[in-house]
Chains A and B, each alone.
Chain A
Amino acid sequence: MSEVLRTDSFFNESLVGLFGPAQIVKSHEASAGKSFLPRVHVVPYGTTEIPKKAPVIESNTADRYTAHGDILLLDGKGNGRVILSQTANSNTVLVTEQCDNLCKFCSQPPKTRDDSILFAFAAQALIAFNSQDFVGITGGEPLLNRALFLQFLDTLKRADCHTPLHLLTNGRAFHDLSFVKEFKDALHNRDLICGIPLYGTNSAIHDDLVGEPGAWSETIDGLINAGNHGLPIEIRVIPTKRNVEQLSSIVKLALESISSISSISIMNLEQEGWAKRHWDELYIPPYQYVKMLEQTLKLQHRYKIPIRLFNYPLCHLPQHLRQYACKSISDWKAIYEEECLSCSLKSDCGGFFVSQKHKWTNPTMRII
């Protein structure tokens, strides 16, 4: 029996008892079966030549949304989720659920159990997938266990995996100069961009939002150190009621002080995890800060560094700002409301997070 839970998730009896990363095999591929990971065959419904030995998912949907070589993560109970997909517009692997910040809007609240095995899973997945495009590394805080992260980079290098990485970190670990040097050495010229959030021009606002006194000053040190060592940095800012007044100042502060910034991302608040709990305290609809967005976006012409908007459905932005919005929500995570279906801009629009369904989808500024 197999069941498609969502376009990226499957249940299959034959997967029961399998853990960790596995690689998808499409039977019609000539090179099928070269992976060192356990293999899972995905075939369209009604295929007659089903391989006998390996687990098989027989499903048209699964077949349509997966490609040969995609990586599944299996939970031992028969569930598998695609974590690295050749057809997705971005891929991300989770390396830990532990974190030293407790952000009010954390989409994935941290846990404290020892989960170091996730690093090993991530390394195996990346090596088997062997992408030439950027893959996101996320947590938790991936640099919380610094030794483990350096080891992770070393493992990838020794396995000859050159996948460029986008590391989502709070940057606090980089306040330690010697770690920055070790980190730089461990990269061995691998392309790596650090996505580092900065939520305030001072500690009062930032530390309150990330729930950790002292976090701002460590992040500032980290940004300066990482930038000075030539690590490309993407600065991320989430406008909330608390910090929206200083949005452009945050971006300006970063651009004038931090070296090696490659881009700035303004991210719309996601109704995920703890953000749901703090929604009324934090969320401010974009139409209430259009002027501030304009002022912030203008800075890209001054500093010649791109500033982009993420997770903003186009109908939540006035027309002249839509050009800066990126279609960031992965295809299979995006949903469109019924009235979106007839919208003329649907193909350019990121839509809404799947998980936000029935909560905050409300296409306030209908384009249609």
Chain B
Amino acid sequence: MERIIKNGVVYCPLNGINGEKMDISIKDGKIVESVSDDAEVFDASGQIVMPGAVEVHAHIAGAKVNVGRMMRPEDSKKDAEGTVEATHRRAGSGFSVPSTHMTGYRYAQMGYTTAMEAAMPPLLARHTHEELQAIPILDHAAFPLFGNNWFVMDYLGEGDIDSCAAYISWLLRATKGYAIKIVNPCGTEAWGWGGNVHGIHDTAPHFKVTPAEMIKGMAEVNEKLRLPHSIHLHCNDLGHPGNYETTIESFEVPKGIKVNPATGSRDTVVHGTHVQYHSYAGTSWRDFESAADIVADYVNKNDHITIDIGQVTLDETTTMTADGPMEYDLHSLNGLKWANCDVEMETGSGVVPFIYSAKAPVPAVQWAIGMELSLLVKDPAKICLTTDSPNAGPFTRYPRIFAWLMSNQYREDMLENKLHKWAQKRSSIATIDREFSFYEIAQATRGTPAKVLGLSDFKGHLGAGADADVAVYNMNPDTIDPSSDYMAIEQGFQKASMVFKDGELTVKDGEVVNAGLKGKTFWADTQVEQNSYNAVLKEVERQFVKYYSIGFKNYPVEDEYIAKSAPIKGVML
């Protein structure tokens, strides 16, 4: 099947295309150089054409996401949608944590075609995959949590990188996981006893390993296994005033490790996630202020790192993370309901509703910090725009964030009329007049995430050979002035005029027309030397049967859980 999207204004940063009028040709689900005259024609005159967007970090599937839905019927009630029989669109509900079908539709409506579930407890991997399968349209992957895994903590406490690599290789395959996710290393294990760690040189009770050693060891394992993505790091001390020092120290740890992916074009060794929550100065909530300028400066000066933002959207939302102690602290602070799930041998999690009120001082500064980070990091090849959905706000607010970044006038309106005055007093946001271009938006939502995830061979761009994931927005860059027409920008990005997924027209005039599409599951299929692998596994099994509550053979996720398997092969040197 051939298709051609004609006369659109194309933004494709990975190929350096900045607003050129050109045609995009599609054949058999891939972008091609040209198609025959028989191709079905889609007119995109006067419209923006971008690659399908790539979500680098969100919580969309799995145990804690579902607990977020389950414990908040009041959130589900305020945003529910009915069945659309004509297009077989399924019903659903949830403002901050939409149900699975709604998640797929809403991402697709904004032009997103790939999304990462950023935290998968390995023991509960089947759950994550069952939900990912129930999310239509989106290609996806899930990041297993390693930062508090007992085996990893033991290996790295002893400096045994090779055994650790063998174990992680096995676990990625067993859980059909994609990348090494590290959340509050050692801290969530300490939460097993109700504690936490502070800074990167602390240790959890019983274990003789520090967060710094965990970060460094896993970064080495990551490159040894030649994984597509870098380590994905949620630093220690999330949300604590004064935590920027921990953040920069953590980023510094893996510096110098040689980048070594088997596929893709990643050139960094660490991805710092939701850095807004990690860029705080001060010593308490009273003298709390932004340290975004310091963190942005670090990112500007270093090339081994990418970050995503975790932009606060000023909504009532649901926070959820594997950072168990952080969620307990949040519950103690706001007094709202609290879910927690400690997962044996591996990790934990917490869920708490949160109201980011624009009129309250702290959320106003948090908003400003996210904006500062996006605007002060000079090169959008180093940042991905996220809300850490649903933590700082639901992903459905991305269009509003794009509009904030593209319009200084919009930000000024926020500062003057909507936000608590701390936003101006405790940050530098009022002094920044930079405005993102469409090209830069495409970088931070397509090119950069695809590249850092190691998917840029076929995601995040519109060159020949790429997956035919294309988003078309009914905004004419020749006539629209994002600086003043910011509401039109927000509306334009909220509902794409056309979205193609693997070449199939999936969204038309902002509505999903192909609701039944199933996405691919990416996972990391790495190789390690067989003898040492077998020896490591034998020892893992010995420990496993003693301390897990399920059988070793019942741990690996069966093939039945992956409808469209897309292993990314790595080779161990």
Q: Do A and B bind each other?
A: no
Interface residues of B (CB under 8 A from A): none
